[in-house]
Structures are given as C-alpha cells and as structure tokens.
Amino acid sequence: MSKKALCIGINDYPGTQNDLSGCINDANDWAAELAGRGYAVSKMLDSQATHAAMTTGITSLIHGAVKGDTLVITYSGHGTWVPDSSGDEPDGRDEGLCPWDIGSAGPLLDDQIRQLFDSRTAGVRILLLSDSCHSGSVTRGIEDDLDPGHPRARFMPLEAWMPANELPAASARPAHLVGGLKRSGGDLLLAGCLDTQYSWDTSFKGRPNGAFTYYALKTLREGNPATYEAWFKAIRAYLPSTKLPQDPQILGSAAARRFKVFA
C-alpha cells in the first residue's frame, strides 16, 4: 500500500485582477504535513497549475494507484461556476476549480473531476481537501491568530475570466457560488465552506493562508485527531467566526468519516 498526494496552490491569476495571497503557503503547508506522514507528494504552484497540468496530474495520480492505496488532493485557489449544459445540476450550474490559465482554458469542472475519480481502481481511497469558494450562519469561533484587516473571498466572478459575449444573464448569476463539489466523487471531501458562502484568503501572525487550511492544520497538529470526523469537529471550534463567516463541510459516508486521518 502506498500513500500519494498532489498539492495545488494558485495565487496568480493573470489578467483577472483577482490574485490571492495565501494559496501557495497553503499548498506548501499541506505538502510538508503530508510528507511528514509518509506521503509521496507532488506540488503544482501558480503557472504550473494549468488546466491541462491539473487534469494530467490528477489522472496520473489516480491511474497509478492500486487497491489499498490512499490518495490526497489539496486545492487552494479560486472557485467559480458555469451554466450547466448537461442538465444534471439542480441549481443549473456546474462548479469548478480555477486553474492558472482560466482565462483561456476555463475551469476544471465538478463533472470532470468526478469522471477522473470514477476511473480509480476498486479499493483506492481518495480524499479531496478544497480551500476555495465552491461551497450561513455566523457564530463566534476563536480568532486569536487572525491578523487585523479584510480577508478576500476565494471566488472568481465570471466577469473576471469569461468573455463578455458568453456571460449568462445577470439574473442567473448568484452572489455566491452555489452547488459545490458535492458531485466530485471520491471517499471524502473536506471543504472550506457551505455552498452559499465564501472561503476566505487572509493572514495569520503575519503570514498569508486560507482560513480553512490554517485551522485544519492547527487542529491536526495540536490535537492529533484519530478520525476525519473528530478532525472536522475540532476545526468547527474555529470556523465559522465573526470575521470569517464560513462553515467547513465534510462530505462522505459514515464509514469514510471514521477512517484514520491520512492513514
């Protein structure tokens, strides 16, 4: 049995005026954590993370796995959506991850990710950790580590990357990204927020990070939770908070939630 991971972080979105600051740190932080837990880790940062490279990287990771292997894919960057063309989305939108070259290649959609995940060999476990807006209530979580200032939403508006003549009517465009990556497949999805919320790009102790990634790693290192369910509960002690109104999500079967973390 082997353990492999692909960590993707994109701060730079050329031509969109929607650059982020914490995604490279997120990817490097996840990579270091996973390597320390025995994973063979690959990274894609900024211009390395094109649509084609992300597709190829995920495909190679999955097709190279055999029964008993565990795969982890982390993504930190913008999320976005396009009008659903296949009729399989109740909200009429396909959601996706934003590659570095989204302006020319478009997003990596949930339908595409699901097809890639469905091609795995039986017995291969896949965990997707997404710190992006794809996914509202606000409670007061612990905010001691959060730097003052205004965090930025990890949501890429259609106007920033889609040609004007292809934009859907304004009435069809929500303020938030709805629907999410729930259809992406795999065993577990740990996501930064609800379908109706933003994941926030901010700074902690002078260092940029995604809020979800920061607290996920903080709770993992400090509490050493045994299962994904226990880990998720620990993260919820921090999020949502007054300044970070995002509700992390865990999606997967009851059995998958009881898997040992990164085992």
Per-residue pLDDT of the chain (263 residues; tens, 9 = 90+): 899 999 999 999 999 989 999 999 999 999 999 999 999 999 999 999 999 999 999 999 999 999 999 999 999 999 887 765 554 444 456 788 999 999 999 999 888 888 899 899 999 999 999 998 754 222 234 455 655 555 767 777 677 777 777 766 654 544 433 333 444 446 898 989 887 788 999 999 999 999 999 999 999 999 999 999 999 999 999 999 988 989 998 988 899 999 999 99
Residue 245, preceding peptide bond in cis (omega within 30° of 0): no
- 26 found inside a domain: yes
Any domain includes 129:
yes
Query: Amino acid letter at 3?
Result: K
> How far is 247 from 238, CA to CA, in rounded Å?
10
Answer yes or no: is 253 within a domain.
yes
Beta strands in the chain (DSSP E): 3-9, 40-45, 70-76, 79-83, 93-97, 108-109, 125-131, 152-153, 188-191, 200-204, 207-210, 249-252
Nearest to 151 by CA among 110, 100, 192: 192
Please indicate, yes or no, if residue 246 is contained in any of the structural domains.
yes
Total-model pTM: 0.85
CATH number at residue 26: 3.40.50.1460
Supply 180's token pair.
């999410």
Return the active site residues.
78, 133
Please give the backbone phi and psi of residue 81, each rounded to the nearest 5 degrees, phi first: -150, 165
Dist. CA 144–CA 146, nearest whole Å: 6
Distance CA 72, CA 79 (A): 19
Residue 262 lies inside a defined structural domain of this protein: no
Q: Where are the alpha helices (DSSP H) in the chain?
A: 23-36, 51-63, 102-105, 110-118, 211-223, 228-235, 254-257
User: Is there a domain that residue 38 lies in?
Assistant: yes
**What distances in angstroms separate CA 47 from CA 9, 73, 91, one per listed residue?**
10, 18, 32
What is the residue range of 37's domain?
Answer: 3-257
Residue 263 within any structural domain of the chain: no
Strand partners, 210: 201
The domain tally of the chain equals 1
Domain assignment present for residue 203? The answer is yes
